[in-house]
Amino acid sequence: MKKLILIALVLISALTNAQITITSTNMPVSGDSARVSLPTIPSLLNPANTNYTLTGANFFWKFDSLNTNNQAVRQFQPSSASPYFFYFFFPKYGEKIQDSVPGLPAIPLGTVSLTMKNIWDFYKKVSTTSFNAEGTGMTISGIPVGATYTDEDELYEFPLNYGNRDSTTFKLSTPSTSLIPFVYKKRGYRITQADGWGNVRTPLGTQPCLRVVTTQYSQDTIMLTSPITLNIPFPNYVRSYQWLTIGEKIPYFEVSGNLVGGNFTPTMVRYRDIPRSFAGINEMQEQQLAFAIYPNPTINELNILVPKSKDLSLEVYNLSGQLIVKKNLSNNEILNKHTIDISGLSQGLYNGKLSDGKSVQNFKFIKQ
């Protein structure tokens, strides 16, 4: 009996200390969601926690002393649930990552200032070999724009094991058209290294993990073509320390931030968690009346995809504020797709408004 107990203890110890392998099955797919808690940066630096930069083989990272007062839900949604469906078709899917880009200079464009809001990242699994970034959606000065890759960014290559080190280049850009007086470009490279394995402990519990560090070195550029020609380049170096586990689909624990002059400054900490009672929980959900409005820019037609349960009214205004199109979108069309004839409109930028009597969704589109 004692011998059997000893054998069992040896097996348990071996399993506990075994290295794990991350494969494509451990990545999120469309429809997945996961709750995370968002600890404060000072609590991350509490000496009672493990220094997050430390790593090694069969390492035990302890983050028991994290102080959390907020939560969020990461939602991986079909591209049709975003404003950028026209740029990212199935099987690509995405998640909203930011409301706006902080620190972006406001540059006059005639009577409009340059803003970059409602930022989404889009992904795709490439068979069992990699998990790729497929592009970024952003609303620039009110216009939904998709920045797509001509050289894709492979975020992870599989199978991912301790000691693996991969490097990938990437290049993406928004469409170049005379009707949009700006272009956003991004190019650079990413280095991803699995530099440790063992166990990680958070307030949620302890899990076997693979520690991965991924660093993006990119040069981002905003190019203005009207009313003046101007290039605004800025470096975008970011790093993420990640503790990946089996079955969670997102990092079990993650520390991300900026890299300036070789010095890393953490700006976000999050870990997989269960619902907890905190004041001011942010579910990171955007309520939209339409799944998608496309194409944009467009020539003759504007397509609007809406839920079956929605009866909406559509209004289109020119830049002088004059109402030029008004239409009821009744719930009686095939596939809930409403096609609006705009062939009679002059070329230019227009403001649209969808309403269900309780909520309003504003959008912009360009008629070529």
Using DSSP, state whether 2 is helix, strand or coil: helix
Homologous superfamily (CATH) of 292-367 is Macroglobulin (MG2) domain (2.60.40.1930)
Q: 221 to each of 187, 235, 337, how far by Cα in Å?
A: 9, 9, 36
Residues 6+ positions from 134 with CB-CB distance below 8 Å: 88, 92, 122, 123, 124, 148, 149, 152
Q: Maximum distance among all alpha carbons in the chain?
A: 88
Query: What residue has token string 């394995």?
Result: 197
Q: Kind of pairing, strands 59-62 and 143-157?
A: unpaired
Q: Give the pLDDT confidence score for residue 310 in this predicted structure.
A: 65
Residue-wise pLDDT tens digits, 273-296 = 988 765 433 433 334 677 677 787
Q: Name the DSSP letter for residue 80.
A: G
Percent of the chain that is helix, strand, coil (3-state, to 5): 10, 55, 40
* Per-residue pLDDT tens over the stretch 15-28: 446 899 999 999 99
Report residues of the chain scoring pLDDT below 50: 1-16, 103-106, 108-112, 279-287, 333-334
Residue 14 has a pLDDT of 40
CB atoms within 10 A of CB 279: 6
The length of the chain is: 368
| Closest CA relative to residue 52, chosen from 187, 195, 259 | 195
pLDDT at site 102: 52
Q: Residue 139: which of 169, 161, 114 has the closest Cα?
A: 114
**C-alpha atoms less than 13 angstroms from C-alpha of 320 in its C-beta half-sphere:** 3
User: Which pTM value belongs to this model?
Assistant: 0.70
| Chain centroid to CA 130 | 17
Q: Boundaries of CATH 2.60.40.1930 in the chain?
A: 292-367
DSSP letter assigned to residue 306: -
Residue 367: is it exposed, middle or buried by C-beta count within 10 angstroms (0-12/13-18/19+)? buried
Q: So what's the pLDDT on residue 131?
A: 97
